[in-house]
Amino acid sequence: MSITVIVPTILRPLTNQQKQIHIGGTKVSEAIDQLEQQYPGIKAKLVTEGAAHRFINIYVNDHDIRFQNGLSTCLQDGDILTILPAVAGGSRI
């Protein structure tokens, strides 16, 4: 089981500047937990109160997980998990 995680520039200081990371996990949450084990601090940048952070978009093969099963979205071997900062950035404060 290998998932490719595409890391945005903004988070690369936490991943030793790696752009792509290969990791395991059957759900997005498991993949993030494994990321956290290898790169401590990254989970806090992605998850807050059990859901993806408002300013972070997580895609599985180009599909936003918020429109699937959130952090419980299932992963399959060869899936690409892309992390991107949100575009609009939310409302004014």
Instruction: Kindly list the residues in this chain that would bind another protein in the complex (CB under 8 A).
Output: 6, 8-10, 19, 55, 57, 59, 62-64, 66-68, 82, 84-93
- Helix, strand, coil abundance in the chain, percent, nearest 5: 30, 30, 40
Supply the minimum distance, in Å, between the C-beta of residue 12 and another protein.
8
Q: Which is nearer to another protein, 50 or 89 (CB)?
A: 89
Cβ pair 12, 88 in contact under 8 A: no
Q: Cα(31)–Cα(22) distance, rounded to whole angstroms?
A: 10
Supply the minimum distance, in Å, between the C-beta of residue 11 and another protein.
8
